[in-house]
Amino acid sequence: MSEKVIGIILAAGKGTRMNSKIENKVAHLFLGKPIILYGVELFEKICDELIIVIGAFKQSIENIIKENKKIKFVNQKKRLGTGHAVQLALLELHDSPPSLVLVGMGDHMMFYKEETIRKLIQQHKDQKSVVSFISTKYHNPSALAWGRIERDRDGNVLDIVEHKDATEKQLKIKELNSALYCFDYSFLSKNINKIKKSEVTGEYYLPDLIKIALITKQKVHAMLVHFREIGIGINKINELSESQTLYKKLR
């Protein structure tokens, strides 16, 4: 029996820095196509079912996604972070739990290729990991507010340090978390409620599951991928233009 893979796309954010007033930022056009469709079309090639977590300006996303029995919408009424969003999505899976769960950010899935995600899944299984994720190296890491990946001499992941928590030394680490994850469902469902609320923002962050896995001596795998297959996400108006220019340049 083949394994069941569920995809979760997080698209509930208000997009405050995009100055969005009537539509979610993933409803904006990226080279003529709504941003959200890049992630949907990617995961549809790989996943048996797809859940999109919506919230702010949710109607703008629902209007883009045509009726599709493979897609479910979950409404995150209170935006309490990526960990909370995934927690809500998992409530939809109790009747028919999958083997693996892929999680992607709705504003940062334009550059990924199907073969990259399939390679992540294969390496996840080969490494017998409970959580795997895609990382990339960037020549000027201080320009991106992404988590830093610390490894030991053998290349094993030691820690993931969020940008806001990083020391000056850690900020110089060039290997970054691009925030596309593959989880064993059993690990994810058992530990999603163990994520602690940030004292700074009051939100629950999905990368904390990596720390939980490492603390409990379970296998974590970071698959290093060239930056051209990752690109940048979109949080600000200028990043929409920059990301499109980069996409055309790298492709």
Q: How far apart are alpha carbons 25 and 61 in whole angstroms?
A: 9
Reported CATH class of domain 5-250: alpha beta
* Residues found in the chain: 251
Tell me the pLDDT tens digit for each residue of 162-206: 888 889 999 999 999 999 999 999 999 999 999 999 888 899 999
Give the predicted TM-score (pTM) of the model. 0.95
- Take residue 27 and report the two structure tokens written for it: 């409803």
Q: Is residue 32 pLDDT above 60, yes or no?
A: yes
Tell me the pLDDT tens digit for each residue of 140-168: 988 888 999 999 999 999 999 888 888 99
User: By the 8 A CB rule, do 163 and 170 touch?
Assistant: no
- Take residue 120 and report the two structure tokens written for it: 């992540």
Question: Domain segments of the chain: what residues?
Answer: 5-250
